[in-house]
């Protein structure tokens, strides 16, 4: 019987174990093995292997002896000296590592945000083959680009174009009302963004299923919900098979539950309803669906475009014949939708690429300023050690040893910076939604682009820190090093000035950009929008005929504190509606596609919109209900009317008998955000032919919050089964600038961080400069220099830094601010004060930060300073 332990384990022990300890350890292991054989050989072998692994610890591992001059010993000594230097200058070490970690963490956060924006919809498996079809209509030489298309277009392309592998289509249902089935505990839910989609939707787009599969929408009356929506509607994620009512009369069964839709997608929803649940007018004249196609792997979109005219031929002929217009169907890759221009009736989440360009510049500047702060402080320490290096060289030493110490210091610093930056980044990412109002999906953090850029940052940091080693190699003369100089023509002072100047320039840029961003928001808030949005409460109506809502309005008018009540189809941020109108011209009645809204007699007065010419709608004119129009100034210019009063208009096209003349010219008002230019607008009186969507209440500012319960009580008296949905108009209008608020929050946070890093850097440089000039200050004081002169001498260097920084910052301020302001059709003008004020602020910060050491140097006793070194 073989009674020897496993030979491989024994050889492994001999390989790693210190020879001085091997005999004792191996002997003990063999003795234990012999005793354990009494139980069983398998047991003894297993325990022997565990003993070999257990003995593998630092005290037992074989190591080379540290002989004098050996590489291991030298590097061990270098690390000890580097650690000792860091301990000697604790404040400097803490400042330069924490400043670099803070800058890197914020840069990583902004990088994650940029990658999150640039990878919109990349989580779909076939994102590079999915295209959205849109509609471009040229009507009387006015081109309107719609996100919606005729319902059959996707299906026709799938059937007639071989390059199209699949298609899907859906319609936006907004936020319908869901009612729980249980009559004893009936609950209403009305905040779920809902799409009605065809059966291929879950095959074209990629979502993670918690239950159900891609066939979940094949039948009618089926509902697919996200994880969060399942919890809201049913109180559990296990909602498969559960029932709920849509609008109280359509039963829906949950056929699948998916994980919440990622934040970086242009198409956000909470619930999907199967297409066959509803009766659709599935004809070419129904231009209300969002259509997407998937190309085959070997197909190109150019081939589809080439065959598209044949598919559209009949429809294009009908459009040309009936409307005298042309129709095109452009294709748009889904990865590009997020950054494309806004289309009419577009529900996609949009972003301007100029914002990302600006953020990319900020990321670069943050990395540079954190690195400059680190390099500058390290360079200042190096300058203070040049005399020491000179003394070493007098006795036959070399600068190579100091270069190795610098490398060791860099490694030690990075071992602290990288974990600290990672921790700060994680904390900021977790709180980004709350404090920055930005969403960064977690899968972005594992994406190729983010990981690659993060690795690039780390490589750049390590590569850049070798600059100081290069500068040290320039110490080519013993006498010069004893004087604290790098060469006969250059010392470290000009380099320090350049580095500090670059750091301060970033601070100036951030201050200027924050001023511009904040002023633009003040401009948005305080500019004359053309109407009064203050103290306006908007109540949203889902159902109710014209007479019911008129009755409701009469009751609301009786409430003390309600100054005015009106009806309108307008609401900021809603999907814009354009209709065909016939307008009078010198060539006869022209057909035009124009934005429109309807309202009652009181709307213009309640909103405070100015009537420039003519009159408002009036009850005493019975023809106003279907025979009067109001237009804005832009419409009058577009229609070529110098005097619009009395001009003929008929339409909108879908209505019968609505024709009349213009009775009033309104001053232009922004019925969208200031990102877009004001368009022509036609207003007509609301009537029984049009549903009422919004009621506007002009409230007493002192009691507006107290009035809401009373208004809700009146609402519930009329519609007890409907939710009471309301919003202040001011709040709604500012929500149009959500993406701009994200940029504002980022800039303000970046400003605080950049000022903090700059202050820490200036404070540390000030301390080191003061220590380097200690003896000089003493000599100057002995020969008669006053304290004020010594203080001015210390501050002089930082003023020079500031002039360099201003020269660098000004062109960048102009370029970056100009790019950002292009997002707005109406914006502030860049004045000279945006260049001067930031410089003055940074000057004040610089003086306050550096004056402590300046005063300390000026007030020191010359007796003590002359003994220095």
pLDDT in tens, 207-224: 999 999 999 999 999 999
- Per-residue pLDDT of 591-646, as tens digits, reads 888 888 888 888 899 888 899 999 998 888 878 888 889 999 999 998 888 889 98
pLDDT of residue 140: 72
321 pLDDT band (50/70/90 cuts)? Answer: confident
Q: Using 50, 70 and 90 to split pLDDT, how confident is the model at 198?
A: very high
The more confident residue out of 805 and 276 is 276
Q: Which residues make beta-bridge pairs with 146?
A: 135, 344
Phi-psi category of residue 125: left, alpha or beta, with phi > 0 → left and psi -120 to 50 → alpha? alpha
How large is the average pLDDT for residues 191-215?
92
Percent of the chain with pLDDT over 90: 16
pLDDT tens for each residue of 549-588: 888 888 888 888 888 899 888 888 765 577 888 888 877 7
> pLDDT: is 5 or 375 the higher one?
5
Res 270 pLDDT > 90: yes
Peptide bond between residue 241 and the one before it cis (omega within 30 degrees of 0):
no
Give residue 520's pLDDT. 85
Instruction: Answer yes or no: is pLDDT of 532 > 80.
Output: yes
Grade residue 476 by pLDDT with cuts at 50, 70 and 90. Answer: very low
Q: What is the pLDDT of residue 1?
A: 53
pLDDT category at 861 given cuts 50, 70, 90 is low
CB 629 within 8 A of CB 660: yes
pLDDT score for 167 = 94
Give the pLDDT score at 230: 92
User: Using CB atoms within 10 A of its CB, is residue 82 exposed (0-12), middle (13-18) or buried (19+)?
Assistant: buried
* pLDDT, position 853: 61
pLDDT tens sequence across 790-805: 667 767 777 777 777 7
pTM (2 d.p.): 0.76
Domain ranges of the chain: 7-60, 127-337, 353-524+738-866, 543-721
pLDDT band at 170 (very low <50, low <70, confident <90, very high): very high
pLDDT one-digit tens code per residue, 384-439: 555 555 544 444 444 445 556 666 677 777 788 888 888 988 888 888 777 767 77
Nearby residues of 813 by Cβ (< 8 Å), 6 or more positions away? 508, 509, 512, 513, 834, 835, 838
Ranking 104-113, 184-193, 236-245 by mean pLDDT, the lowest is: 184-193
Q: Residues with Cβ < 8 Å from 477, sequence gap 6 or more?
A: 487, 488
What mean pLDDT value characterizes the chain? 79
pLDDT of res. 157: 92
The C-alpha angle 357, 362, 366, rounded to 5 degrees, equals 150
Polymer length of the chain: 869
- Interhelix angle 492-526/787-821, nearest 10 degrees: 50
Phi and psi, residue 758, nearest 5°: -65, -40
pLDDT at 498: 66
3 state SS for 320-372 = HHHHCEEEECCEEEHHHHCCCCCCECCCCCCCCHHHHHHHHHHHHHHHHHHHH
Per-residue pLDDT band at 247 (split at 50, 70, 90): confident
747 vs 827: CA distance, rounded Å: 18
61 DSSP 8-state letter: B
Q: What Cα–Cα distance (Å) separates residue 428 from each residue in 110, 113, 115, 300, 740? A: 10, 12, 16, 42, 20
Q: What is the rounded CA–CA span in Å between residue 429 and residue 337?
A: 25
pLDDT at 275 over 90: yes
301-315, 673-687, 769-783: least confident range? 769-783
Number of Cα atoms under 13 Å in the Cβ half of residue 192: 27
- Least confident range from 53-57, 529-533, 579-583, 855-859: namely 855-859
Q: Which of 636, 565, 559, 643 is nearest to 600 (CA)?
A: 565
* pLDDT tens readout for residues 102-160: 888 888 888 888 888 888 999 999 999 999 999 988 877 778 888 899 999 999 999 99
Cβ contacts of 231-238, under 8 Å, gap ≥ 24? 232/189, 232/192, 233/178, 233/180, 233/189, 233/192, 237/210, 238/211
Report the range of poorest mean pLDDT among 177-191, 233-247, 776-790.
776-790
Q: What angle do CA 751, 753, 758 make, to 5 degrees?
A: 95
For residue 526, pLDDT beyond 90 = no
With 80 as the cut, is the pLDDT of residue 465 above it? Answer: no
So what's the pLDDT on residue 394?
47
Q: Token pair of 584, please?
A: 């009078």
Residue 200 pLDDT:
94
């Amino acid at each position: 019987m073989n009674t020897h332990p496993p030979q491989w384990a024994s050889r492994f022990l001999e390989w790693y174990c210190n020879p001085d300890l091997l005999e004792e350890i191996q002997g003990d292991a063999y003795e234990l093995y012999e005793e354990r054989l009494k139980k069983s050989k398998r047991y003894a072998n297993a325990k022997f292997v565990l003993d070999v692994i257990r003995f593998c610890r630092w005290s037992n591992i074989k190591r080379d002896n540290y002989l004098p001059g050996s590489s291991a010993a030298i590097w061990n000594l270098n690390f000890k000296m580097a650690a000792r230097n860091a301990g000697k200058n604790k404040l400097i070490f803490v400042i330069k590592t924490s400043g670099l970690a803070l800058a890197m963490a914020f840069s990583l956060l902004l990088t994650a945000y940029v990658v999150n924006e640039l990878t919109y919809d990349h989580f779909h498996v076939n994102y590079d083959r999915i295209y959205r079809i849109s509609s471009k209509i040229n009507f009387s030489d006015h081109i309107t680009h719609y996100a919606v298309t005729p319902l059959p277009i996707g299906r026709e392309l799938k059937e007639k174009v071989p390059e199209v592998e699949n298609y899907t289509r859906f319609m936006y249902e907004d936020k319908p009302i869901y009612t729980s089935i249980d009559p004893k505990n009936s609950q209403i839910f009305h905040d779920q963004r809902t799409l009605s989609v065809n059966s291929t939707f879950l095959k074209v787009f990629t979502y993670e299923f918690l239950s159900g599969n891609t066939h979940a929408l094949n039948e009618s009356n089926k509902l697919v919900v996200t994880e969060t929506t399942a919890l809201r509607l049913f109180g559990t994620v296990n909602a498969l098979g559960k029932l709920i009512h849509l609008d109280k009369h359509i039963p829906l069964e949950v056929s699948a539950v998916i994980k919440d839709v990622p934040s970086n997608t242009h198409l956000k929803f909470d619930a999907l309803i199967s297409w066959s649940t509803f009766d659709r007018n599935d004809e070419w004249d129904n231009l209300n669906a969002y259509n997407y196609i998937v190309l085959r792997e070997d197909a190109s979109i150019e081939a589809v475009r080439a065959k598209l005219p044949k598919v559209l031929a009949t429809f294009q002929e009908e459009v040309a014949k009936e409307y005298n217009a042309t129709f095109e169907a452009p294709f748009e890759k889904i990865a590009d939708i997020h950054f494309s221009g806004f289309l009419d009736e577009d529900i996609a989440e949009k972003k301007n690429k100029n914002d990302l360009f600006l953020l990319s510049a900020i990321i670069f500047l943050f990395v540079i300023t954190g690195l400059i702060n680190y390099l500058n402080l390290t360079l200042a320490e190096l300058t203070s050690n040049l005399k020491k290096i000179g003394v070493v060289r007098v006795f036959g030493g070399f600068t190579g040893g100091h270069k190795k110490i610098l490398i060791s210091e860099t490694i030690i610093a990075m071992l602290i910076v990288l974990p600290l930056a990672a921790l700060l980044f994680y904390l900021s990412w977790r709180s980004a939604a709350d404090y920055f109002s930005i969403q960064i999906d977690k899968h972005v953090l594992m994406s190729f682009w983010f990981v690659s850029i993060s690795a690039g940052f780390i490589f750049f940091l390590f590569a850049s820190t070798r600059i100081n080693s290069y500068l040290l190699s320039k110490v080519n003369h013993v006498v010069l090093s004893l004087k604290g100089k790098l060469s006969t023509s250059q010392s470290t002072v000009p380099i320090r000035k350049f580095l500090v100047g670059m750091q301060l320039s970033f601070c100036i840029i951030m201050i200027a950009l924050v001023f511009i961003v904040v002023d633009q928001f003040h401009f948005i808030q305080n500019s004359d929008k053309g109407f009064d949005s203050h103290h306006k409460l908007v109540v949203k109506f889902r159902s109710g005929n014209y007479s019911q809502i008129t009755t409701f309005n009469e009751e609301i008018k009786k409430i003390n504190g309600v100054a005015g009540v009106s009806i309108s189809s307008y609401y900021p941020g809603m999907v814009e509606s354009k209709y065909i109108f016939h307008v009078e011209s010198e060539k006869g009645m022209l057909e035009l596609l124009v934005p429109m809204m309807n309202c009652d007699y009181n709307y213009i007065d309640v909103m405070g919109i100015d009537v420039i010419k003519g009159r408002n709608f009036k009850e005493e004119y019975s023809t106003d209900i279907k025979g009067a129009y109001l237009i804005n100034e832009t419409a009058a210019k577009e229609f070529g009317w110098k005097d619009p009063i009395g001009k003929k208009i008929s339409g909108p096209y879908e209505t019968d008998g609505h024709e009349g003349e213009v009775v009033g010219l309104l001053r232009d008002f922004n019925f969208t955000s200031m990102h877009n230019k004001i368009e022509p607008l036609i207003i007509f009186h609301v009537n029984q032919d049009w549903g009422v969507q919004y009621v506007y209440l002009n409230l007493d500012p002192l009691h507006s919050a107290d009035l809401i319960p009373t208004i809700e009580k009146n609402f519930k008296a009329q519609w007890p089964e409907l939710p009471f949905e309301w919003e202040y108009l001011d709040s709604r209008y500012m929500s149009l600038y959500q993406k701009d608020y994200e940029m504002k929050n980022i800039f303000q946070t970046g400003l605080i961080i950049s000022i903090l890093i700059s202050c820490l850097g200036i404070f540390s440089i000030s301390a080191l400069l003061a220590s380097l000039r200690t003896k000089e200050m003493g000599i100057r004081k002995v020969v008669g220099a006053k304290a004020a002169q010594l203080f001015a001498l210390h501050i002089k260097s930082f003023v020079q830094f500031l002039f360099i920084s201003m020269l660098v910052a000004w062109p960048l301020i102009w370029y970056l601010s100009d790019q950002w302001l292009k997002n707005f059709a109406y914006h502030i003008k860049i004045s000279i004060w945006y260049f001067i004020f930031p410089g003055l602020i940074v000057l004040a910060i610089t003086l306050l930060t550096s004056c402590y050491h300046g005063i300390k140097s000026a007030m020191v006793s010359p007796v003590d300073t002359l003994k220095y070194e």
